[in-house]
Amino acid sequence: MNHQTLTEEQQQQIAKAPKWAYNPYAESHTAYLRNNDVTKPAEDYFYWLSQMNKASIIINSEEGLLDKKYAVPFAQGLHTVIKNGNTGGPRPQNIVEFEPYLIAEAGPEASRIHAGRSSQDMLTTASMAIMRQALLDLSAAVISIAETLNELAEKNKETIIPAYTNGVAAQPTSYGHYLHAFIEGFCRDQDRIQEYYQRVNRCALGSMVLNGTGWPLNRDRLASCLGFDEVFENCYDATQIYTLEYAAETAAVCSVIALHVSNFIADIMQQYAQTRPWILLQEDGTSTYVSSAMPQKRNPGILNSTRTKASSILGDCTGAVIRAHNIPSGMADARGVDLTLLVWETTNLLQEFHHILTAIHINPQRSLEELNLDWTASQEVADLLMRKYNIPFRIGHHVASNIVDFARKNNLYPTNFPYKEACRIYKNYTATIDIIDIPKVFPMDEYEFKTTLDPTAIVQHRAVKGGPQLPELKRMLTESIRKIKDYKLWHDQKSTAIAIAKKNLEAAFQKLLKQS
């Protein structure tokens, strides 16, 4: 049956359907829902309205809320509506549009299915079903990033690089340690996704709108049939409170991921400003491109485009929160598929970021050279003077600072700084300090002084939990592998639970159809 066979009243009903329930990004939304597979029907609002109608027919007829004589003809009519929608026919995205097609196929009695339901609880249920799948897709992308970062960190456990604070080279660390810090960040992103998923994977169907319904619908069974872990406890919350709140939580999850990506990219871009960077992207034709005017330039195109996407996501996140702000409960401002699209855009962002990670090229000799061209090791002098020789840190700090001042005035570096000058500077400064229980001469011998200024030795001499020293870094990377394994298990369990629910519902629906 097609749109032309509807009665004039039914067509008017469709025309008056609430516009907020329509998908404002229909084309891109459908592409995302099909995962860009045009042969696969989109799991859009039409799909989930169909699933809800299947569940309502089956469960209500079994529990005496729908006379069994209606079950088969209603199922047949629904089957035709679904078939038409999957083969180029009408694919209504809200129940006000959907119901006229069902009535046209199954007769006016078909509206009995809608008893105890509302467009609001159905819209919320469909929104949560679509969002949970988007979160699972995002989860898979985050897990992949964490796994790739871990592999990259394993290869660079002993790659020594400068670390920066306030945009200035501050201390040596290992690139593996730096990468593990981002692994921790993306693991927290995954934790947030899993916590958020638990709140999203709840079913509003049967909560009606505001205060429930006089029909004793089996909400728990409806939820289970649709693959939800539980129902919203409070009917008012289901369609009026959480539907605003989840806009802000979506924005929170996506914005932190975008911040992690843009922060990482900013670190690489800082190197591109140097004439001899220690980190670059491989020139593979997809990561960089040659300047149209300057032959020597290799512009990091993917860094620019990915950072732009991250910035756009952050802007959209702000918009999502603003739309939910300062409106009474029950308003539709914060709802809509654009929230789901925000999650999908974040997934796409991570896919581009993954490309960046696979294109990274490190030059360990150059990073070590940069460290030895500056005094990022100077804090170790103060640390060692206190740790080994009981000299108060601030005194050691002043000695090290004076060494750096002298070195910069005389164009000296850690690799060629004269030991005798360190001894002189220490003696002159401590002579001004009225403390009798510290050495009067520089306590380090020349070998110890030179070793203290060695960036590689500094990194490996770190002793605290969470530091870059090799044994500790190995421990942390092993722990990350365990976390990632747990994340994959969680993702597979949730995906499987939804797949099983879909399979069981379809089997029950087909069984009903065969009774005709």
384 and 360 in one domain?
no
Co-location of 362 and 230 in the same domain: yes
104 shares its domain with 180: no
pLDDT value of residue 20: 41
Q: Which domain holds residue 385?
A: 378-453
Among 115, 143, 169, the domain-final residue is 115
Yes or no: say if 301 and 287 are a contact pair by the CB < 8 Å rule.
yes
- Asked, for residue 44, whether it belongs to a domain, the answer is yes
Q: Report yes or no on 331 lying in a domain.
A: yes
Residue 152: CATH number of its domain: 1.20.200.10
Dist. CA 172–CA 383, nearest whole Å: 14
> Are the CB atoms for 110 and 102 separated by under 8 Å?
yes
**Last residue of some domain: 115, 141, 165?**
115
Residue 128, domain member (yes or no): no
Name the amino acid, one letter, at 375: W
Enclosing H/E stretch for 204 = none
For the full predicted model, state whether its pTM sits above 0.75. yes
Is 511 domain-assigned? no
If asked whether residues 21 and 95 sit together in one domain, one would say: yes
Helix (H, G, I), strand (E, B) or coil at 161: strand
* Statement to judge: residues 179 and 312 lie in one domain: yes
Q: Would you state the pLDDT for residue 16?
A: 64
Q: Note the pLDDT of residue 293.
A: 54
Question: Residue 186 contacts by C-beta under 8 Å, 6 or more apart in sequence?
Answer: 142, 145, 146, 149, 257, 260
Among 312, 287, 318, residue whose Cα is nearest residue 301: 287
Buried b (16+ CB within 10 A) or exposed e, 84-113: bbeeeebbbbbbbbbbbbbbbbbeeebebb
Give 42-100 pLDDT, tens digit per residue.
899 999 999 999 999 999 999 999 999 999 999 999 999 999 999 989 999 989 999 99
Task: Please report whether residue 441 resides in a domain.
Answer: yes
Residue 219 shares a structural domain with residue 336 = yes
Residues 35 and 140 placed together within one structural domain of the fold: no
Q: Which helix (H) or strand (E) holds 125?
A: helix 119-155
Distance CA 134, CA 130 (A): 6
Tokens read off for 319: 């918009």
Residues 234 and 153 in one domain: yes
Q: What does the pLDDT look like over 148-184, one tens digit per residue? A: 999 999 999 999 999 888 887 778 899 999 999 999 9
Contact 112, 71 (CB under 8 A): no
The amino acid at 108: P
Beta partners for 174? 160
Both tokens of residue 439?
């050495």
Tell me, yes or no, whether 126 lies in a domain.
no
As given in the structure block, the two tokens for residue 486 are: 């747990």
The verdict on 145 and 294 lying in the same domain is yes
What is the total count of domains within the chain?
Answer: 3
- Whether the per-residue pLDDT at 502 is higher than 60: the answer is yes
- Give the tokens for residue 173: 């660390």
On whether both 15 and 108 belong to a single domain, the answer is yes
Tell me the average pLDDT across 12-32: 53
Across the chain, mean pLDDT equals: 89
Which residue matches tokens 């539709």?
332
Would 465 be classed as within a structural domain?
Answer: no
CA separation for the pair 109, 76 (Å, rounded): 13
Residues in Cβ contact with 182 at an 8 Å cutoff, skipping those fewer than 6 apart? 149, 260, 264
Q: Are 308 and 266 in contact (CB under 8 A)?
A: no
Q: Taking CA 214 as the corner, what is the angle to CA 209 and CA 217, rounded to the nearest 5 degrees?
A: 85
CATH number at residue 96: 1.10.275
Does some domain include residue 512? no
Q: Based on the domain organization, do 354 and 401 belong to the same domain?
A: no
**Model confidence pLDDT, tens digit, residues 359-412:** 999 999 999 999 888 888 888 899 999 999 999 999 999 999 999 999 999 999
Q: Are residues 486 and 428 in the same domain?
A: no
